[in-house]
């Protein structure tokens, strides 16, 4: 079986995540519409992945149920191989998940920004572990930083890099609409927040007096 290092978390702001991914140098390589059908099996986990425009994949995998980054062992099969391995009889379906996926690549890491029907938005990292690897997989951009630390960080980078990426992403996000409605609404929200802060400070001052 092949092995991946994986990390998945709920995503609150897909647009900001896209901006950060691009600011870090990730390439957007595709927009995918996928339907995953999960089956009840005796060992491991099995899902059939149907992607619009691509061939169907059957994915047999094993991984721990943890919220942190984890190792996933998996094998891929086409339809004919799946019939040979799992038989022709219908298997009991556990659940069907439909998602819209934006796929990015950063060095050896796949970045998935998923909008899942009825469940919400999610961020996922995947990095293939090669058989020749003798130490924890690392991101070439981060040099000595191991992937466990990389994937566990909120934006996948160290704090100084994350702050710089956020700043670049925000500038890039607002530059095309500097005089547009979205920018004006953002500035109005900031102004309202500042007014509330000043009112609260003034109220506190009167109470202290």
pLDDT tens-digit readout, 29-49: 999 999 999 999 988 999 999
- Residue 106: which CATH number? 2.40.320.10
Q: Look at residue 209 and tell me if it is in a domain.
A: no
Three-point CA angle 125, 76, 32, nearest 5°: 50
Instruction: Give the Cα separation of 163 and 168 in Å (integer).
Output: 9
> What is the percentage of the chain residues whose pLDDT exceeds 70?
62
pLDDT single digits (tens) 113-154: 999 999 999 999 999 887 666 555 554 444 434 444 443 444
Instruction: Give the Cα separation of 108 and 151 in Å (integer).
Output: 12
Q: Look at residue 86 and tell me if it is in a domain.
A: yes
Of 136-150, 153-167, 178-192, give the range with the top mean pLDDT. Answer: 178-192
Domain containing residue 12: 2-177
Q: Please tell me which residue, 152 or 4, carries the higher pLDDT value.
A: 4
Q: Look at residue 206 and tell me if it is in a domain.
A: no
> What is the percentage of the chain residues whose pLDDT exceeds 90?
41
Q: Look at residue 193 and tell me if it is in a domain.
A: no
Q: Look at residue 166 and tell me if it is in a domain.
A: yes
The pLDDT of 162-167, averaged and rounded, is: 51
Exposure string for 85-123, b = 16+ CB within 10 A, e = fewer:
ebeeeeeeeeeebebebbbbebebbbbbbbeeeeeebbb
**Structural domain count of the chain:** 1
Q: Look at residue 82 and tell me if it is in a domain.
A: yes
Q: Look at residue 132 and tell me if it is in a domain.
A: yes
Q: How many Å from the N-terminal Cα to the C-terminal Cα in the chain?
A: 71
């Amino acid at each position: 079986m092949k092995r991946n290092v994986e990390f998945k978390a709920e995503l609150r702001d897909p647009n900001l995540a896209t901006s950060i991914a691009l600011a870090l140098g990730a390439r957007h390589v595709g927009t995918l519409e996928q339907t995953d059908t999960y089956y009840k099996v005796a060992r491991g986990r099995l899902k059939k992945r149907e992607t619009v425009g691509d061939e169907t994949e059957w994915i047999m995998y094993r991984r721990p149920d943890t919220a942190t980054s984890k190792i996933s062992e998996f094998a891929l099969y086409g339809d004919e191989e799946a019939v040979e391995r799992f038989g022709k009889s219908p298997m009991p379906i556990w659940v069907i998940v439909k998602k819209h996926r934006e796929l990015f690549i950063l060095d050896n890491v796949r970045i998935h920004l998923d909008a899942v029907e009825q469940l919400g938005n999610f961020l996922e990292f995947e990095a293939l572990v090669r058989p020749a690897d003798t130490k924890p997989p690392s991101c070439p951009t981060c040099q000595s930083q191991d992937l466990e630390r990389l994937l566990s960080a909120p934006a996948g980078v160290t704090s100084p890099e994350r702050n710089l990426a956020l700043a670049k992403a925000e500038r890039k996000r607002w530059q095309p609409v500097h005089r547009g409605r979205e920018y004006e609404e953002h500035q109005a929200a900031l102004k309202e927040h500042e007014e509330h802060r000043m009112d609260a400070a003034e109220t506190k001052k009167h109470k202290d007096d």
